[in-house]
Every structure is written in structure tokens, then in C-alpha cells.
Amino acid sequence: MLRPTLLVAALAAAFPAVADADLDALRAELKEMKSSYEARIQSLEKRLQQAEAQPAATPAPADTAPATVAPAPQPETASNHFNPDISLILQGQYANLDDIEHRHITGFFPAGHDHVAERGFSLEHTELVMSASIDPYFSGYMNLALLDAEVSIEEAWFQTTGLGNGLTLRGGRFLSGLGYQNTQHPHAWDFADNNLMYRALFGEAYGNDGLQLKWVAPTELFMEFGAEAGRGANFPGTDRNKNGAGSTVLFGHLGGDVGVSHSWRAGVSYLQTRASDRDSEIDDLNDVAAETLFSGSSKAWIADFVWKWAPEGNATEQNFKFATEYFSRKEDGDLLCVDNTADGGACTDATDRYKATQSGFYAQGVYQFMPRWRTGYRYDRLDSGSVDFGLNNAFLPVTDYAPTRHSLMLDYSPSEFSRFRLQYSQDKSMESVSENQWFVQYIHSLGSHGAHSF
Amino acid sequence: MKQFFAAVLLWLPLSVHAALNVFACEPEWGALAREIGGDDVKVYNATTAMQDPHRIEARPSLIAQTRRAGLLVCTGADLEVGWLPLLLRESGNAAVQPGRPGYFEAARHVPMLDKPARVDRSQGDVHAAGNPHIQTDPRNLARVGAALAQRLSEVDPAHAAAYQARWKDFSSRWETAITRWQQQAAPLKGMPVAVQHKSFSYLINWLGLREVATLEPKPGVEPSLGYLAEVAARLKTSPAKMVLRAAYQSPRASEWLAERADIPAVALPFTVGGAPGTDDLFGLFDVTLAELLKGAK
């Protein structure tokens, strides 16, 4: 609201040179404005009162009701007019960790995009998300992960909305629909760090540039089937400069409710890709870092199961969520261990067949015991499985160590847009290291934050 | 796998019912669709009266039902913003996307109350379009019903005459009932009430009650004990006759306050199925008024 007197006073103070005559003119003008506005407000108020009184006093007879009572339809609110929905996710943490030089998971090749937490205070990726309908036929989505001097396009895709018959086609860069956690960005995780299974499989999650076709069956039982073909440039594959598809993914999910309080989803997924000179650094038998190059096929099966409970289906007060996933991966091809004898290493540039079958799982439960407060426990276990380096068995370690980790978390969400989390983990993902890890984390989201999936 | 696909595909024609599948986001719209649609529609209620419509998970079962729907009937006004967009995106059902005849928003057809002057998350869970709990005023149901009958006729023209006939019949019974309820509610006029969440603005406006306090400091924000004590102190100077809450809300806050202020805590059904005897829309308002009158004694 304008405060004419204040404004005039301020103006007078600011421009002492202004003549009295000018001031008087200004005053008169403002007074006129004020009275004209007051008159308009009064007339609006009167009209509002009339409008409110009308339907209340005389409920219109039945058949004329729609004509007299129904107001002009207001715009639908599902979209945000022409502006994309924009949200920004702020994440940061304090981590209390041991000083370990080469963090890795014993028995597994480090996956390319492995984001290891820093000791002490640190900022995690800041996510910028935009989404909107493109036209009546397509919608679009983008997710950028920002870190110092680094912007990565996590997702940028379009999706059809008009195909119908349960079909949707997605194109661009997207997180694959395989498994359960894969489509979740870090801010939606229930724990401060990634589970060991996804760290071993993909680093963070399996993203791809390509196409996804998905079909939902017209049944009461939820049935969803999807197929993806993509570039396959990310771990466990590599960019191979070729036409055609570098990786294929198939997945199927079933889901439903049991009574009003329980719901579930289960699925099976398959990923097939190839690598060419995939570069990984591991410690050789002399405990010296060795560079290995793998060329061959990588195939993984993933099974996932999620079960949720909320009394009467009302998750506001209390709810419980259980999620578990299992994987089995077979890699078959040639491995070159680059000569590192100069550094005292064991490798001698030998190339031979590499064959490995490895597996692992995680299981986690998260319980909201009262509004705003949740606690959760997660168990990780990987199985190094059978690994055969061929000739390189003489230079590279083969282990039967099973990496495990226990994690316990407590989080507090003042609203659905802010969350603080405390987590303790006992990490035995590296042989002969038992590390106690503490995390304090915040996750805040600004703007029109989209809905989270099941 | 192949046999399974084939089986599903062969089975497809069977699932194309003669009846129109209506997906109702909230039970009141399911009940309204049933009144107008009769046997020509098959209604699926996505939520129950015991669930908070702001906070629903986009469960697989809901995606499957969205996929099957020929018409979606939802409140709109951002009430379902946390889950409906996901159902629409995942379902692959083109017929019910916003802008299509199969997408119906009830809030578009009624005058909205509580439109915020300022839309900012610091104000809590505010809805820019206004208060979305429009079903607590029966006159709004008449407005929405008229539009819904129209929409059903558009989506399923084969049964248009039946929809219009049922709407006409329902509408005349409804108007009679509204007159009856208004007569019953005459003693409630001007009665001061406290509410837990701004769930009843339309009811309060219809019956001419006076809302003197809200237990939530900001919409959707749970009250702390300190804030409740503040509200209790305020009620000393401007007393309320009762504290209202919806069936799905936890009774803790309103009962704590009711005890302090020595007034009854009244749980209103809020929507169809929220209390015994509220199996249809008539029952919903019969019980609502009975509870209010009981509390006012």
C-alpha cells in the first residue's frame, strides 16, 4: 500500500530544493489518487458482498442452478502456465571419516563415477531441476548437478504424453528404469550415502543417452515393462565410438496394494553392455597401484522389492518402508594389466581372458515413528564371487572377502521441503579396515519440488 | 515371457468394459460420479476419508488405475500436486492428461476461498489457487455436479441422456436436502469455532459460523505444544464453542486444546466414509450437521 504522507515526506527530505508549489501539486495529485482508489475499493467490496450473499440467500432451483451458480471455469492448476516448474536442491554434510588414501570396495573394480564423501564439512551436489509440458504431445525434464567448476547433466529428456494405450517413449539422457533406487537422485535417498551395491555396479546410478519405451498394462495389478537402448558410455560400459546401441536394458515391475495399509512393488531388470579399454586402477599383489584395461561384455541381473506400510494408508503420522535389491553381474573379456614394474609393481603388460561373476545386495528399513522423525537401518553385503584373471592371476589379487556395512540413521524433517539427518555406519567394504563413519547432512528443496515416486 | 505378453495382449479386449472407468482422487468425487453415472460408470476411489489428500504416495496400484481410467475427477487447486502429476506421467494414458476431456478438476467450477495474498513457502503449505477443501459446502457439490454431468456426457456420449437424467434427479433431491440442512443449522449461525487445519472454510462460510482460531500455526505445519498454549490463551478472550478436525487428522492437538478450553472436540467426517453413516453424500452432511449440533449443545 502506498503511504502518501510518508512518500511525500521522503520526497521532501530527499529533494529539499523542491519548491512548496511543487509539493502542493504533488500532494493534491496523491490525494486525488487516494480518493479515487478508495472509491474503487469500496465499489469492489460492495460487489463482493453482493456476490457472497447471493448464492447463500437463495439456493437456485435445481435445473437452473448450473446456469446461475456456476462461475466461469478457472484455469486448471496441474501445470504452471507457461513457466517450467523449477526447483533447487541444496545439500551439504559434515562427515567424520578415517584418513584413507584409496577408497575402494575390495574385490570390485572401482566404478567410474564414484563420488566419495570428503572429510569434514563439504557441499554436496546442488541440483537444479526444471520440468514442463512442451506441447500437448511431449513433456520435458532436466536435472543439473552443480559442484565447483563442474556442471553435469544428470538428466535431460523429453517424454511423450499423447501416445496412449499405456505407452510412453522417452528420449535423451535419463536414469535407467532398472532396479528400484536407480531413478532416485541422491536427495531422495533414505541414507546419507549410496548403498554398496549401486556403488559397485554403477558408481552412483546407471544413466544413459538413448531411448526408453515403457508400457503399463491395463490391469488392476500394476504391470510395467520397459526396454532401453542407449549409448552405454557409463560404467560398466565405455564409450565405443560406434553406430547402433551400446547398451540395452530390459525391466519389468509388478505392484499393488494389500488391504488399505500395505503396498508393494517388485521387479526384475537386465542390463547388457560392452566395454572397450575400460580403465580401472586397483592394487596388485605387490600392493602397488596398477592400471587395468578391460574389453568385453558386462551383463547384470537385478531383482528389487519394496514394501510400504502406513496405518489406514495415512502416512502422515507413522509409516514404514522396506526396500531390498539384489544383483548378479557377469563380465567376460580381456584384461590388460599395464606394466608397473618401474614402481615396484607386479604387472608386465600381459593381456589375458578375464571372467568374473559377482553379486551383492542391500536391505533397508525406514520407520517414521512420529510426525517429522524417521529412523532407518541398512545392511550392505557384496560377494566378490568367482574372479579369474587368467595369466594375470600371477599379478593381481583374487579375494573371497565379502564387503559389508551396517548403517543407522535418524532424520528430522521440519516440513516436506527440509530435512536434517544423522547417520552412523560401520563400514567394512575394504578388507582389514573397519571404519566408523559419522554423517550430519541437510537436504533442502526450494521452489516447486515435484512429486517423489513410490 | 513371450507367452506371458501374448496372454496379456489377448486378454486386452476383455478389459475394455462397457462401463466408463472413473478415477476419483477423493471419495466425495467418487460418490458424486456414482450418483450421476449410476451403472454406466465404474468408480475407483484413489483415497479414503482416513487419508490426508495432500500426502498420498504415487503407489503402483494408483498408476495401474490411472492407466485404466476414462475420466479422472480430482479437486485440483494444487491439492494433489504431490502425487497426481506422477500418476499422469507414469500411466501412459493420453485420455486423462490435463487439457483433455478425461481430466476434470472440481475446483475450477466453484468460487474459491482463502486465496493467499502472498504465496511463499514460509507461509506453510499454501495453495495459490485458494483453499482446496471445497466439498464441505454442499452448494459446491451442486456446482461441481452440474459440470461433471456435462463432462460425463462429453466423455461418454452414448450415455449422455442417462447422465443428464440422473443429474436432474440428484440435483432436485440435493437442493431439497440443502434447504433442510440450512433449517437444521439455523441455531449454529454465528457460532465461534476453532479448527485444526483450514479444512472447513467452506462449511463455515455456508453455515455462517465464525472461525476464531486455527490450531496449525501455518497451513500443513503441525502445532507445537507452545503454540497450542498460545491458542488456548487466545480462546480465553475470544472463546470458541468447539474444536473441529477432519476424520483423518490426529486427535492429539484438538483434544489437548479442547480439554484446556473445556469445549468439545468434534471430529467431522470431512468426506464420504469419514464416519459411520456417511456412505453417500447425503449421509456426509446429515452426520456433519448432527455432529455440529451435538457439539453446540
State percent of chain A over pLDDT 90.
Answer: 67
Q: How many whole angstroms separate alpha carbon A165 and alpha carbon A158?
A: 18
Is there a contact between B95 and A74 if contact means CB atoms under 8 Å apart? no
Please tell me which of A92-96, A160-164, A343-347 the model is most confident about, judged by mean pLDDT. A92-96
**More confident position, A73 or A383:** A383
Tell me how close the Cα of A82 comes to any Cα of chain B, in angstroms. Answer: 14
Is there a contact between A78 and B105 if contact means CB atoms under 8 Å apart? yes
User: What is the pLDDT, as a whole number, of residue B127?
Assistant: 77
DSSP structural state of residue A191: S
Per-residue pLDDT band at A2 (split at 50, 70, 90): very low
Describe the strand order of the beta sheet including B192-195 as a list of residue ranges. B210-214, B192-195, B242-246, B265-268
Same domain, A177 and A252: yes
Longest CA–CA span in chain B (Å) reads 73
Q: What is the mean pLDDT of residues A265-290?
A: 93
Q: Poorest-confidence range of A57-61, A340-344, A378-382, B254-258? A: A57-61
Beta strands A435-447; B20-24: pairing state:
unpaired
Q: Poorest-confidence range of A278-287, A300-309, A316-325? A: A278-287
Residue A342 contacts B where some CB pair is shorter than 8 Å: no
Give yes or no for residue A7 having a pLDDT over 80: no
* A312, B246 contact by CB (below 8 A): no
Same domain, A200 and A254: yes
User: What is the pLDDT, as a whole number, of residue A178?
Assistant: 96
Residue B52 contacts A where some CB pair is shorter than 8 Å: yes
Q: Please name the residue of chain A whose CA is at the shortest distance from the CA of residue B148.
A: A66
For residue A443, the domain's CATH number is 2.40.160.10
Residue B43 contacts A where some CB pair is shorter than 8 Å: no
Q: Poorest-confidence range of A89-93, A210-214, B217-221, B293-297? A: B217-221
Q: How far apart are the first and last CA of chain A?
A: 46
Per-residue pLDDT band at A155 (split at 50, 70, 90): very high
Q: Poorest-confidence range of A242-256, A385-399, B212-226? A: B212-226
**More confident position, A62 or A270:** A270
Report the Cα B241 to chain-centroid distance in Å: 25
Is there a contact between B59 and A255 if contact means CB atoms under 8 Å apart? yes
Per-residue pLDDT band at A56 (split at 50, 70, 90): very low
Residue A57 lies in a domain: no
* A290, A345 contact by CB (below 8 A): yes
Per-residue pLDDT of chain B (297 residues), as tens digits, is 556 555 555 555 444 447 999 999 999 999 999 999 999 999 999 999 999 998 899 999 999 999 999 999 999 998 998 899 999 999 999 999 999 999 999 999 999 998 887 777 777 777 788 899 999 999 999 999 999 999 999 999 999 999 999 999 999 999 999 999 999 999 999 999 999 988 999 999 999 999 999 998 888 788 888 888 888 888 888 889 999 999 999 888 899 888 888 899 999 999 999 999 999 999 999 999 999 999 888
Same domain, A5 and A92: no
Nearest CB among A59, A221, A454 relative to B58 is that of A454
Q: Please name the residue of chain B whose CA is at the shortest distance from the CA of residue A257.
A: B61
Residue A46 lies in a domain: no
- Residue A399 has φ and ψ, to the nearest 5°, of -125, 155
Please tell me which of A15-19, A78-82, A97-101, A180-184 the model is most confident about, judged by mean pLDDT. A180-184
Same domain, A204 and A298: yes
Q: What is the mean pLDDT of residues A347-353?
A: 92
Same domain, A10 and A151: no
Task: For each of the domains in chain B, give its residue range(s) and CATH number, in order of start.
Answer: 17-179 (3.40.50.1980), 186-296 (3.40.50.1980)
Residue B171 is placed in which grid cell?
Answer: 440435483
Quickly list H helices, A185-322: 196-202
- The enclosing H or E element of B10 equals helix B2-15
| Dihedral sign, Cα of residue B45, residue B47, residue B49, residue B50 | positive
All residues of chain A having their beta carbon less than 8 Å from the beta carbon of residue B143 are 65-66, 69-71
Is there a contact between B172 and A312 if contact means CB atoms under 8 Å apart? no
Same domain, A129 and A34: no
User: What is the pLDDT, as a whole number, of residue A114?
Assistant: 59
3-state secondary structure of A102: coil
Nearest CB among B86, B98, B222 relative to A371 is that of B222
Tell me how close the Cα of A142 comes to any Cα of chain B, in angstroms. Answer: 15
User: What is the pLDDT, as a whole number, of residue B3?
Assistant: 62
User: What is the pLDDT, as a whole number, of residue A68?
Assistant: 38
Quickly list H helices, B185-269: 201-207, 225-237, 252-261
Asked if the interface predicted TM-score (ipTM) of this complex is over 0.90, the answer is no
- Overall number of domains in chain A: 2
Output the CA–CA distances (angstroms, integers) from residue A296 to A278, A355, A396, in the order listed: 9, 10, 18
Q: How many CB pairs under 8 A join A and B?
A: 203
Residue A70 lies in a domain: no
Residue A227 lies in a domain: yes
Same domain, A32 and A115: no
Same domain, A348 and A231: yes
Same domain, A141 and A12: no
Q: How far apart are the first and last CA of chain B?
A: 66
User: What is the pLDDT, as a whole number, of residue B13?
Assistant: 46
* B128, B98 contact by CB (below 8 A): no
Residue A29 lies in a domain: yes
Looking at the DSSP bridge assignments, the partners of residue A121 are: A94
* B20, B155 contact by CB (below 8 A): yes
- The enclosing H or E element of A266 equals strand A262-283
Is there a contact between A78 and B61 if contact means CB atoms under 8 Å apart? no
Q: What is the mean pLDDT of residues A258-273?
A: 97
Nearest CB among A51, A74, A451 relative to B83 is that of A451
Give yes or no for residue A8 having a pLDDT over 80: no
Residue A51 contacts B where some CB pair is shorter than 8 Å: yes
Residue A129 lies in a domain: yes
Residue A432 lies in a domain: yes
Same domain, A95 and A231: yes
Residue A58 contacts B where some CB pair is shorter than 8 Å: no
**More confident position, A373 or B122:** A373
Give yes or no for residue A58 having a pLDDT over 60: no
Give residue A21's domain range. 1-41
Residues 6+ apart with CB under 8 A from A378: A190, A191, A195, A362, A363, A364, A405, A406, A407, A409
Q: What is the mean pLDDT of residues A364-384?
A: 96
Report the Cα B210 to chain-centroid distance in Å: 21
Residue A117 is placed in which grid cell?
Answer: 564423501
Residue B222 contacts A where some CB pair is shorter than 8 Å: yes
Residue A78 lies in a domain: no
If you compute the radius of gyration of chain B from its CA atoms, what whole number of angstroms results? 21
**More confident position, A438 or A135:** A438
Same domain, A33 and A168: no
* B55, A315 contact by CB (below 8 A): yes
Q: How many whole angstroms separate alpha carbon A376 and alpha carbon A366?
A: 4
User: What is the pLDDT, as a whole number, of residue B65?
Assistant: 97
**Closest to B228 measured CA to CA, from B242, B239, B241, B213:** B213
Write down the pTM of the prediction: 0.85
Q: What is the mean pLDDT of residues A141-150?
A: 93
Across chain A, mean pLDDT equals: 86
| pLDDT tens-digit readout, A96-136 | 999 988 888 999 999 876 567 889 999 999 999 999 889 88
Same domain, A353 and A417: yes
Residue A228 is placed in which grid cell?
Answer: 532401453
User: What is the pLDDT, as a whole number, of residue A33?
Assistant: 64
